[in-house]
A and B are shown apart, each in its own frame.
Chain A
Amino acid sequence: MIVTIVAIILIIVIGFTSKQREELFIVEKWIGNVFSPVQKVVNTTTITVGEGISSIFNFTKATRENEELRNEILVLQEEIITTRLNRDELEELRGLRFALNYIEEEIGFYPIAANVVAKSPSNWFDTFTIDIGANRGITKDSIVLASNGLVGRVYEVGGNWSKVISIIDNNSSVSFQVLRDRDFQGIVSGSISNELSGYLFDPMAEVVVGDKLITSGLGIYPQGIMIGEIIEVSKSSDQLLKTITVEPAVNFKKMNKVLVITPNTRE
């Protein structure tokens, strides 16, 4: 009897809480505040120990990687020189713009570093919690980045924790543009098998495997954040759209430090 009543109440609660909420209940915040520091300690310990163990086994791999990185540095150093030249030119142009009283529309983003505390134990949703929340000024729909690409957005904010939905989750989708040519735009969304797939608005767009995708600025994500690389392009005859499969730039399995940028923070 009680079971039936509780079940009915729970179904009502599910209905109420299934949409994204503005504010969490006090009880939820408290439980999160208590659990997340402990989870953080356990998570950091396991990652440190795991990395220690794997580094012992991957000794030979490390030397090879070292060699590769050295070669990469040489290439990058050359690139730095050209970029510096470009930067100087840009500085000059900016100076000119200031002289001409051109109104700047620049939003200053203020990134905050955070640790991943825990990943969702559910196999269906791809969410995780981070160790900062309202105490550091995080708001709903803040954008979460890793060092090399887009991770997701903040879904719910607690006291010293917040839940993040990653872009490979079933329900999230990101609008992108191809880095090579900004006219090629489209939408990628996550899937249950943790890979991104999507389509291009223009069926005639010439995209190839290996094209890099960045966010297009439509929607809540700001423009110019790396999403990933196309690994498959397919076009079936019964579909008018060109579909692509994307490998995300961020390794979602080995992710422990993220950056959070809050929207509407102007410097």
Chain B
Amino acid sequence: MKILVIGLIIVINLILQPTLFQFIRINNVLPNTSLILVVCFAINNNKTKGTAIGFTIGILQDILFSKMIGINALIYMLIGYFISLTNRNIFKDNLIIPVVLTGLATGFYYIVGTFLVYFLGFHMEFFNIFKNMLFVEIVYNAIISIFIYIYVSKLYKSKRKRY
């Protein structure tokens, strides 16, 4: 049941992110809701599930929109893995947690992503990416992550109460 809901959220995100969310670009930066979802699910799930969710979101996004397959899958999988490794040691009710983790994950995404893209021989203006986009996206993602985290943790809380 929970898996169905998670799958539905992933699909809805995949449909909304390239269409509706295009209207909320700030400074030409789109909030990476897929990344935020990976972080939020990884905080609430164990190691296997967190990694699997990250991989699924990434590979779907790659297939649908990306130029090469696997780059998002790899990064999201690693993010899901590292965050779900720590999830026994963190307070899940504190809203600072998703904000900080999303910020870190965005930074990680940029570092690993530009690294891979550079070695694949794509022409990129790395200086401009870090100067114009990184900071805006970290802040934007962190703010959006609060709302998504509240919703995602509600999903898990209601289950905990029932049993």
Contacts and interface: CB of A to CB of B under 8 A. Distances in A.
Interface of A: 2-3, 6-7, 10-11, 13-15, 17-18, 27-28, 31-32, 35, 38-39, 42-43, 46, 50, 117-125, 127-129, 155, 163, 165, 170-171, 189, 191-194
A197 to B, nearest CB: 10
A10 B77 contact: yes
A31 B64 contact: yes
B38 to A, nearest CB: 13
A14 B116 contact: yes
Contacts of A27: 63
A203 B123 CA distance: 24
Nearest to A43: B19
Interface residues of B, number: 49
Contacts of B73: 10
B2 to A, nearest CB: 22
The dominant DSSP class at the B interface is helix
Interface of B: 14-23, 28-30, 32-34, 51, 55, 60-61, 63-74, 77-78, 81, 113, 116-117, 120-125, 128-129, 132-133, 137
A192 B125 contact: yes
A192 B114 CA distance: 13
Contact of B65 (A17, A118, A191): A118
A28 B137 contact: no
Nearest to B48: A2
Contacts of A3: 51, 77-78, 81
Contacts of A123: 28-30, 32, 133, 137
B18 A14 contact: no
Given A39-B19, A119-B18, A165-B67, 15 more contacts: A3-B77, A7-B77, A10-B73, A31-B63, A31-B64, A32-B64, A120-B65, A121-B17, A122-B65, A123-B137, A124-B124, A127-B65, A129-B65, A170-B122, A192-B125
B123 A171 contact: yes
A125 B67 contact: yes
Given A3-B51, A7-B74, A42 B20 contact: yes
Given A18-B68, A39-B19, A192 B74 contact: no
Contacts of A121: 17-18, 21, 30, 32-34, 61, 65
A36 B32 CA distance: 20
Contacts of A32: 63-64
Nearest to A118: B18
Q: Which residue of A119, A123, A189 has the most chain B CB atoms within 10 A of its CB atom?
A: A123
A193 B28 contact: yes
Contacts of B33: 121
A171 B51 CA distance: 31
B15 to A, nearest CB: 6
Contacts of B78: 3, 7
